[in-house]
Structure formats: C-alpha cells, structure tokens
Amino acid sequence: MNRIMILLVVLSLGVSSQQITDSQRLFTIAVSRVQHLHILAQRYFGNFESSLGPDEKRQLNKIFLQDFCNSDYIISPIDKHETQRSSVLELLLVSYRLVESWEVPSRSLAALSRDQISGKLTELKTGLQLLIRTNQEAAFVEGGVALGRFEDYDQRPDQNLRRNYELLACFRKDMHKVETYLTVAMCRLSPEANCTL
C-alpha cells in the first residue's frame, strides 16, 4: 500500500513537472514572440514620430483627454502591485484579450499591415490558448470578445494623422502590456526565487 502511494506521488510529480516544463517552454516562446512584436511596435511609432513636423507634433501633443485606445475597455492591471497580485491565469486571460483585440484591425489598417503583424498576433493567440488550457482545468470560453468601437478611418487628412498616431501609440502600449504580463507570469512559474529574466 505504501509503495503504491509512493509510486502515485512520484508519478504525479513527474506529470506535473512535465506540465511545468511544457508550460515554461510555451511561455518562453510566447514571451519571445511578444517581445518581437513590441520591438516592431516601437519601431513603427518611432518612425511615425520622426516623420512629423513640429506643428504636427504640437498638435498631437494635445491629444490626451479622451480614451483613444480601443483596448481601454479591457480591464487590466495598471501597475506592478496589481500585476503581481493577479494570478497566472488572470494575466493570461488579459493578454489573450488584448492580443485578440488587435488581430482583426491589424489586417485592415495600413499603418499596421506590414511585417505580417496579423499573422504573428494569431500565432501568439494560439500559444496563449495552449497556455490557458494547461494552466486551468475548467473549460475556457473562447470568443465573445467585443471588438469595441473601431471606427473606420476618417478621410480628413488631419484626422488621418491623428488616427494613425493613436493607433500606433495604442498598439505599442498594448504590446508592452502583454509582454509585461507574460514575463511576470512566466517568472511566477519558474523555480528561481527572484527571477530577473
């Protein structure tokens, strides 16, 4: 009887460690992908900003009072304390929703249609789905994510400029959010005590 118990414990440990290593591997992949997306987002925004004239810059500087990001309706941790307090599953779910909210728009918007951003987002989303499944037993209800108000782009040239600016700024912000959440979640699962990776 004792032996059976020991065997079961060892087996369950083995299985869970296997799950953990699988999870870590998936996390590593997801984190590297989102880092790449973040770098791309930074590059796009940087290029856009450097192409602006001083007047345009001043004009754009004044945009602040409205929420202009599409993903603002998605409630996400906004500082370190909140982020570290959230569970791994919550972080994964928020990341999933953020990535999904950009999947469709990145296909149709000119500012984001380069470098197969949409494809990369889809891949990342798939990876996150896998991670969510391995990190929970309950069924994950996919879909039903409201895409929010995504206006079509305005034809006025100044609006065009503003819209592009907003889009690129929001995209960069959201990618950074996902990167942060996933990095914290990955660290939580790793055996090191104070992971600085």
Partner 1 sequence: MTDCTRLKRLLGWVLLLLISAVFECSSNSPPGKPVFKDCHSPDKETFTCWWEPDPDDGEDTTYRLFYEKDQEESRECPDYHTAGKNSCFFDRNHTSIWVDYFLTVVAFNAFGNASSDIFKLDVVDIVKGNPPENVTVRLEFDQDSPTIHVYWNPYVIRSNYGWLTTKYQLRFKEEDGNWTMQNAGLLSQFRLYNASPGKQYTVQVRCSIDNGKWSEWSSSAFIQIPKSEPKQQRFWIPVAFFSAIPFFAAVCILYIKWKFIKQWLLPPVPGPKIKGVDVHLLKSGRSEEVTSALLINQVFPSVTPWKNQVEEYLVVRDDNLLIFDGLGTNGVIISSKFHSEANINEESNVENNVDHKEEAQILDYFVEINEPGFVDELNFVNAMETEKVQSINDLKVVPLENSSYVDIPKKDVTVQDMRPGDYSTVQDIRGECIILEKQSNTSDSKNTDMNRHEEERLPDDYTKVKEVKGDHIVLLQDPSCGNNGQYTDCGNHKSPHPMMEKGGVYADFLHNGYVDNISTTPVM
| Residues near partner 1 (CB under 8 A) | 35, 38-39, 42, 61-62, 64-65, 78-81, 83-84, 173, 176-177, 179-180, 183-188, 194-197
Query: Whose Cβ is closer to partner 1: residue 107's or residue 189's?
Result: 189
Residues 6+ apart with CB under 8 A from 41: 168, 171, 172, 175, 176
DSSP 8-class letter at 79? S
Query: Whose Cβ is closer to partner 1: residue 93's or residue 98's?
Result: 98
Query: Whose Cβ is closer to partner 1: residue 93's or residue 185's?
Result: 185
CB of 54 to partner 1, least distance (A): 12
Phi-psi region of 116 (alpha: psi -120 to 50; beta: other; left: phi over 0): left
Own/partner pairs, 86-89, CB within 8 angstroms, 24+ separation = 86/181, 88/135, 88/185, 88/188, 88/189, 89/132, 89/135, 89/136
CB of 150 to partner 1, least distance (A): 20
Residues 6+ apart with CB under 8 A from 32: none
CB of 127 to partner 1, least distance (A): 18
Query: Whose Cβ is closer to partner 1: residue 110's or residue 195's?
Result: 195
CB of 14 to partner 1, least distance (A): 26
Q: What is the spatial distance between Cα 97 and Cα 82, in angstroms, rounded to a whole number?
A: 18
Query: Whose Cβ is closer to partner 1: residue 152's or residue 192's?
Result: 192
Residues 6+ apart with CB under 8 A from 160: 153, 154
DSSP 8-class letter at 35? H
Q: Output the DSSP codes for 171-193.
A: HHHHHHHHHHHHHHHHHHHSS-S
CB of 4 to partner 1, least distance (A): 38
CB of 155 to partner 1, least distance (A): 27
Query: Whose Cβ is closer to partner 1: residue 12's or residue 47's?
Result: 47
